[in-house]
Amino acid sequence: MSHQSALSTTSRPAPPPAPAAPPRTAWREGLDRLRTAATTEPGRLRIIGAVLAALVVAFGAVTAWQVSARETAADAVAEHSQPLSADAARIYRSLADADTTAASGFLAGGREPAAVRRRYERDIDTASELLVRAAANTEGSASARTEIRKISQLLPVYTGLVESARANNRQGLPLGGAYLRYANDTMRTRLLPAADRLYEAETARLGEDYGDAKSWPWVAIGVGVVALAALGWAQRRNYRRTNRVFNHGLLGASAAATVVLVWLVAGHAIARAELNDSDDHGAKSLRVLNEARIASLRARADENLTLIARGAVVVDKDGANKGKDAYEVSYASRMAGLVGSGPGGPPAGGSLLDRARDLADDGGGREPVEAAATAVRAWQARHKAARGADDAGDYKDALAKVIGAKDSTGASFDRVDDELAKALDHEQRQFQQAADSGRGAFTALAVGAGGLAVLGAAGAVLGIGRRLSEYR
C-alpha cells in the first residue's frame, strides 16, 4: 500500500513554470525612475529645474513664432497687399478716365486735340502696364486672376471700338456716335465691373493681412503667464524651505520672462495702434477717395455722352426716370453720390466727399477734399446752364459750356480731379508712415524673445543647481 503511494507520488507531473514577466519599456523605466526621484528633495529639484527651463524656452519659441507671423503680415500690408489694392484702383481709374477722355475727344469733332489724345493713350498704357504687374504679383487669388484675364481680353475690343468711332467722326459720319456708345457700353457693363471685382478681391486680401497682423498673440501671452507663475511658485517654495528671500538664478529667469512678456504686449499694442491708424486714416481714406474720383470721372463721361447721344438713349424702365436721357440720369446719380442731392453748400452727410473729409486726420488731407467739393458745386451750376442751352436747341453754346477752355464744366471737372489726386497722394503718404511704424514695432522682438528665453532657461537651471549643490 505504501509502496503504491510512493509510486504514485513520484509519477505526478511537475507544475508548469510561472510565466515570465513582460519586458519593461524604456518609457516605463523612465517613469519609474522619475517617480523614484520625486521621493527625494534633490530629485524633485531636478524635475522642477527641467520644467522651469522647458516653460521659459517654450515661451520664447512661441513668442518668436507668433511675432514672426504678425511681422510677416504687417510687411505684406505695407509692401504687397496695399500696393496691389492701390494698383487695382488705378486700373479702374485709368479705364474710367480713358472712357471719359474718349468722349471728350469725340465732342471736339474731327480734329481731336493732341492733349486729349495723349491723355487717352496714357490711360490705356497705364491700365495695360498695371494689369501685367498685377498678373505677376496676384499669386494664390483665383478670382483676381480671372478678372485680370477678362480685362486683358476686353481692353483691345474697347480700344478697337473707340478707333472706329474716331475714324467715322473724322469723316463726319453719324455712325461714329453709335460706335462710341457701344464702346462706352462695353466699358460700363463689362470692363469696369471686372475692374471693380479685381479691386474688391485685392482689398479683401488687404483686410485679411490687417487681421493677421493685428490679432493678439494669445498663445504666447498665455505661455508667458504660466512660465512666470511657475517661476514665482518655485521661488516661494525655495523661500519656505530655506528661508532665503532671493535665488539669483530664478530671479534672473523671472526678470527675463517678464521683459519678454512686457515687450510682447507693449510692442504688439503699439503695432496694433499704428496699423489701426494706417487702416482708418490711410487705407479706408484711400478707398473713399478712389471711389470719389471714379464717381467724378463717370459723371464727366455721362455729361459728354449726353451731348453725343442727344436723347438717343433713354431710360425704358418704369419709375420717375422713365423716358429721360439715360446718361443725364446717370450723371445726376453720380453727383448725388459724390456730394449729395442738395442744391448746394457743403457735401451732404454720408456722401463720398463728406466721408473723405471726416477720414482725413489733418489739414493736408481735408483741404484738397474741401476744394474738390467747392469745384463740384461749380461744376453742377455750369452743367445746369449747359443743359439749359442744349434743351433750348443751342447745341453750339451747350458744347462750349461743356468742353470750352474757360468757365466750362470740363474746367470744373479738371479742378475736382486735380484736388482729389492731391488728397490721394497725401493719404498714401500717411498710410505708408503709419504702416511702417506699425511693422517697426515688431522689429527684433522675435530674436530678442528667443535670446532672453535662452538666458532665462539658463538662469532657472543655475538657480536650481545652486540648491542642489547644498545636498552634496
pLDDT digits (tens, 9 = 90+) for 131-159: 998 888 876 578 888 999 999 999 999 99
Question: Cell numbers at residue 416, please?
Answer: 475736382
| Stronger pLDDT, 320 or 336, i.e. the higher one | 336
Overall average pLDDT of the 36-44 stretch: 64
Question: Which of 23-27, 172-176, 206-210 bottoms out in mean pLDDT, i.e. has the lowest?
Answer: 23-27
Contact in structure between 77 and 206 (CB atoms under 8 Å): yes
* pLDDT score, position 244: 64
Overall average pLDDT of the 4-32 stretch: 55
Overall average pLDDT of the 219-239 stretch: 89
In this prediction, what percent of the chain has a pLDDT beyond 90? 30
pLDDT one-digit tens code per residue, 285-319: 988 999 998 899 888 888 888 888 765 566 666 56
Please determine, for residue 111, whether its predicted confidence score (pLDDT) is greater than 80: no
**Alpha helix positions (H), 11-81:** 26-37, 41-76
Overall average pLDDT of the 193-217 stretch: 90
Contact in structure between 222 and 118 (CB atoms under 8 Å): no
Please determine, for residue 5, whether its predicted confidence score (pLDDT) is greater than 70: no
Please determine, for residue 1, whether its predicted confidence score (pLDDT) is greater than 60: no
Distance CA 93, CA 119 (A): 13
Distance CA 302, CA 339 (A): 17
User: Please, what is the average pLDDT of the chain?
Assistant: 84
Overall average pLDDT of the 189-194 stretch: 92
Distance CA 116, CA 217 (A): 54
Question: Cell numbers at residue 10, please?
Answer: 513520484
Single-letter code of the amino acid located at 387: R
pLDDT one-digit tens code per residue, 407-459: 889 899 989 999 999 999 998 888 888 888 888 888 888 898 888 888 988 88
Compute CA distances 349 → 91, 150, 343, 346, 355, whole Å.
Answer: 29, 36, 14, 9, 8
Query: In Å, how far from its chain's centre is CA 288?
Result: 15
Residue whose cell numbers read 448725388: 336
Sign of CA dihedral 88, 90, 96, 102: negative
Single-letter code of the amino acid located at 72: T
* pLDDT score, position 304: 85
Single-letter code of the amino acid located at 28: R
* pLDDT score, position 103: 86
Compute CA distances 208 → 78, 79, 215, 247, 283, whole Å.
Answer: 13, 14, 11, 46, 13
Please determine, for residue 123, whether its predicted confidence score (pLDDT) is greater than 50: yes
How many other β-carbons are positioned within 10 Å of the β-carbon of residue 291? 18
In this structure, the chain runs to a length of: 472
Question: Which of 6-15, 25-34, 225-234, 335-344 bottoms out in mean pLDDT, i.e. has the lowest?
Answer: 6-15
Overall average pLDDT of the 13-20 stretch: 59
* pLDDT score, position 6: 44
Contact in structure between 147 and 92 (CB atoms under 8 Å): no
Give the residue among 301, 288, 292 at the shortest CA–CA distance from 123.
301
Quick one: pLDDT band at residue 7, thresholds 50, 70, 90? very low
Contact in structure between 100 and 297 (CB atoms under 8 Å): yes
Give the residue among 379, 368, 272, 399 at the shortest CA–CA distance from 335.
379
Quick one: pLDDT band at residue 25, thresholds 50, 70, 90? low
Secondary structure in 3-state letters for 338-383: HHCCCCCCCCCCCCHHHHHHHHCCCHHHHHHHHHHHHHHHHHHHHH
Overall average pLDDT of the 113-120 stretch: 89
Single-letter code of the amino acid located at 274: E
Which among 108-112, 143-147, 464-468 has the top mean pLDDT? Answer: 143-147
